[in-house]
Amino acid sequence: MRVYILELGMLAPKSLSPKPSTVCGVLSISMEGGSGSSSPCPLDKKFSDQIAVLLSPPSPESIKDYYDELMKTRKCNDLKINFSNSSGKGSVTMLPAAVYAIKEFEEGELVLKDQILVAAQHSSNKVDCLVCSYCFRFIGSIELQIGRKLYLQELGLSANKECKESLSRFPEKACTRVLDDIKTHSVSNGSHGIGSSTYTNSKDNSIPTEVLHSLINGNMSLPYTNLFALPSIFDCPGGCKEEHYCSEVCTDLDWESFHSLLCTGRNTEPSKRDAILKFIEHSNGTNDIFILAAKVISYTILKFRKLKRLRLKDNEKRAKLDETDFPLLLEAWKPVSMGFKKR
pLDDT for 113:
78
Q: Is residue 48 part of a domain?
A: yes
In angstroms and rounded to an integer, the radius of gyration of the C-alpha atoms of the chain is 23
pLDDT for 261:
96
Decide if 300 contacts 267 (C-beta within 8 A): no
CA distances from 154 to 53, 188, 199 (A): 52, 19, 11
Q: Is residue 278 part of a domain?
A: no
Q: Taking the CA atoms of 239, 242, 247 and 248 in sequence, report the sign of the dihedral they define.
A: negative
Q: Is residue 304 part of a domain?
A: yes
In this structure, are 164 and 69 located in the same domain? no
In this structure, are 80 and 27 located in the same domain? yes
In this structure, are 339 and 252 located in the same domain? no
**Strand blocks (E) in 7-121:** 23-26, 29-30, 79-88, 91-101, 118-121
> 57 CB contacts (<8 Å, ≥6 apart)?
31, 91, 93, 337, 340, 342
Domain boundary among 196, 230, 264: 264
Q: Please give the single-letter amino acid code of residue 124.
A: S
Q: Is residue 108 part of a domain?
A: yes
pLDDT for 194:
31
In this structure, are 97 and 130 located in the same domain? no
In this structure, are 255 and 295 located in the same domain? no
Q: Is residue 276 part of a domain?
A: no
Q: What angle do CA 184, 272, 133 make, to 5 degrees?
A: 45
Number of domains forming the structure of the chain: 2
In this structure, are 95 and 197 located in the same domain? no
Q: Is residue 272 part of a domain?
A: no
Q: Is residue 56 part of a domain?
A: yes
For residue 215, count CB atoms less than 10 angstroms from its CB and return exposed for 0-12, middle for 13-18, buried for 19 or more.
buried
In this structure, are 245 and 260 located in the same domain? yes
Q: Is residue 281 part of a domain?
A: no
In this structure, are 14 and 112 located in the same domain? yes
Domain boundary among 229, 249, 264: 264
In this structure, are 221 and 112 located in the same domain? no
pTM: predicted TM-score of the whole model, two decimal places: 0.72
In this structure, are 138 and 253 located in the same domain? yes
Where in the sequence is the domain holding 155, given as residue range(s)?
123-264
Distance from C-alpha of 105 to C-alpha of 126, rounded to nearest angstrom: 38
Per-residue pLDDT of the chain (343 residues; tens, 9 = 90+): 444 444 333 333 333 333 333 333 334 444 444 444 567 788 888 889 988 998 888 888 888 888 888 888 888 888 888 877 665 555 555 666 688 888 899 999 888 877 788 999 988 888 889 999 999 999 999 999 999 998 888 777 655 544 444 444 443 344 444 545 544 443 333 332 232 223 344 455 678 888 888 898 888 999 999 999 999 999 999 999 889 999 999 999 999 999 999 999 998 999 999 999 999 999 989 998 999 999 999 999 999 999 998 887 654 555 555 567 899 999 999 999 887 655 4
In this structure, are 21 and 98 located in the same domain? yes
pLDDT for 233:
96
pLDDT for 57:
85
- Beta strand pairing call for 340-341 and 29-30: parallel
In this structure, are 243 and 202 located in the same domain? yes
Name the phi and psi angles at 185, rounded to 5: -110, 140
